[in-house]
Structure 1
Amino acid sequence: MAVNTSFIKLEGTLDGLTFYNKDGENLVKKKTQVSKNRIANAPEYQRTRENNQEFGGSAKCGKAFRESFAGISRLVSDTYLSARITAKIRSIVPNGPGLRGERNIDLVDNLEPFIGFNFNLSKPFDSQFNAPSPGPDIADTKDSVRWNIPDFNTDTFVHKPEGATHFKLALAAGYVSNYEWDATLKAYQPVEEHPNAAGVVNYSDAIDIGGMVGSDTNLDIDLSAFAPVPVTTALFASTAIVFYQKVNDELYVLAQGHSMKIAAAK
């Protein structure tokens, strides 16, 4: 890969070179000389095919993950969330049973790597909000989540962006099924369709920035509508903070400063 410094900015393929723009940079790379047919059939590309299959499964599982937090993710995510969660899921694939290229994506038995995952790398949740709390508690039946935050000083434990006058804490819960290779469809599929990719978000009341909150903040999510939850489905609980500015008695969501992380899973 090289950087195109010419004043002529091209996009597309020309004379075996591919010109493209990424993150504001104009880049150029050689067009691959390996045909799709060769990659799909040649013995020397067997490992590549295996990797591609498992990457595709990880991307599909990652999409379900993102959809389960769709109610809040647009506020709290960076532009690389899709790639980062796919990579995180891909990292646990070797732990699943099966042949290379067809190994199960076993989220339920590999939850630990996801704890602390931030939806926005430039705004880690703990840098924006760090009041002492025990974190979310997920019921053993995976059909309810509670987060209790004892009274705290907002000046001490909230890092507000410029212009913020208020904030809301949020508890988000999302279901993601394990995925397995389907030899008939030649693709990864969720072990259970329901409640895969389903999720719920609950916000606190708006809290003034300045001094003590004045009481504990309790957030509950009732997921009984999804019960009974299959043992092959994981439940992720995320904690978030969203900032607002009050203008003429109306609260407006700020364009920056929000953050969320996975704080518990079961």
Structure 2
Amino acid sequence: MTNTFNIAGADGNVMVPVLSETGSLMAYVLYPDTTGTLQELYSCMSIFRESSDHSQRIPRHSSTLFINTSGGTLYQGTPFLHRNAFGCTGQLIINSQSKTKKMAKSASSGGTLPDRIKNDPAFERTRENIAEFSRAGKAAKLMRTIFRDVTINAKDKITQSRLVKVMSRIITTDPVNERGARTVHNGDLQQLQNFNFNVRAGIADSLFVRCPVNFNRTTGEVTVNIPVFIPRNMVQQARGTTHFRIVAAAAAINFDTEQYEYAMQGTPELPYNSDPTQAITLTMALPANSRDTVVAVLGIEYYQRVNSRSYALKSGDHNATSVVLVDKAA
């Protein structure tokens, strides 16, 4: 709150600040000080300034002074509320002891809020939003569950909320069902493409190698082709890294029933050095001719090898897993 001051005039009167219940300045009222006591108390905290028509004392400090209008007592420090403040005419201009107004209860507002949300026609839009938001939350949780083993070190604290946001957008693109009944399955699932489970790093930020991803729905195979590359040139180094590996996973997902088929494969741990790697193809077998949506992810994991034992590095800035394929059945 802005500090508020009493203003002492040369004629013996004082302008007293009137504060609201929240402590903010509402007005000043004229308070007579015929004895000059207040001006004496102000002498160490004010400066004298003259003008052509009047003189007054103006505070020079940020200390806050207040006056009890009923007793004329000077207070310094914590602001309080002036009760029953009077103007120069003797009329009551502010009565702070206002009574709390009670809202009249509407006859149509009976029942508890949960009951009204479930049954009141006025909450129809709310029920629709709740239903669709619930589906988005379940779809987001399903994605995290499916790809848990390749995202355990490649996620952030808001992965779930970011996924829910994407799933909610997907639901709104459902052209089949009415509002409140729209689903993830009927929406534009391509919006999942390039989703990064770790907001700080996507696969393109840590692995600078183009790895083509292919899916054959007839056979159910998902393949990731990793070409020859030099790790020191094409892999973003995490602090302490001696080895790394590239992982891929794919799943055929039914977002309506929450059933899925999952497959995962990764490279062996590769040394982080200047020696060229060998070309590698990662193959994941899913059910042939599946009518479910197929989602594939690609990630990178970092390790530090000590005495022939590898320790996973939980580098939140570089561990990455991203969606690289979304294929919806026609």
- Class of the TM-score when normalised by the shorter of the 2 chains: 0.7 to 0.9
Deviation at 1:218, TM superposition (A): 1.6
1:188-235 Cα offsets, whole Å, 9 max, x none, are xx2xx6xx2332221101111111333112211122xx3442x2x111
Which position in structure 2 is the counterpart of 1:214? 277
Tell me which structure has the larger Cα radius of gyration. Answer: 2
Q: Which moved more, 1:166-175 or 1:89-98?
A: 89-98
Q: Which runs of 5+ in 1 are unaligned?
A: 1-33, 180-189
Which position in structure 1 is the counterpart of 2:322? 261
CA contact (8 A) 2:135 2:183 kept: no
Q: 2:252 aligns with which of 167, 172, 175?
A: 175
The verdict on how the C-alpha distance between 1:65 and 1:142 changes in structure 2, with shifts beyond 3 A counting, is farther
What is the Cα-based RMSD across aligned positions, in Å? 1.8
Q: More relative contact order in 1 or in 2 (CA 8 Å, sep 6+)?
A: 1
Q: 1:154 aligns with which of 231, 234, 239?
A: 231
Deviation at 1:262, TM superposition (A): 0.4
Which position in structure 2 is the counterpart of 1:21? none
TM-score by length of 1: 0.74
TM-score by length of 2: 0.61
Give the Cα separation in 2 of the matches to 1:218 and 1:157.
18
Deviation at 1:111, TM superposition (A): 3.0
Q: 1:102 aligns with which of 152, 159, 181?
A: 181
The verdict on how the C-alpha distance between 1:142 and 1:42 changes in structure 2, with shifts beyond 3 A counting, is farther
Q: Where has structure 1 moved over 6 Å in runs of 4 or more? A: none
3-state SS of 1:252 partner: strand
Give the Cα separation in 1 of the matches to 2:220 and 2:164.
26
The verdict on how the C-alpha distance between 1:76 and 1:197 changes in structure 2, with shifts beyond 3 A counting, is farther
Give the Cα separation in 2 of the matches to 1:214 and 1:104.
44
3-state SS of 1:171 partner: strand
Report 1:131-146 matches (<5 A): 131-134=209-212, 136-141=213-218, 143-146=220-223
Which position in structure 1 is the counterpart of 2:127? 49
Give the Cα separation in 1 of the matches to 2:313 and 2:296.
24
3-state SS of 2:145 partner: helix
Quick one: percent identity of the two aligned structures? 24
Q: Which runs of 5+ in 2 are unaligned?
A: 1-111
- 2:313 maps to amino acid: L
1:66 partnered with 2:162: no
Which position in structure 1 is the counterpart of 2:307? 248
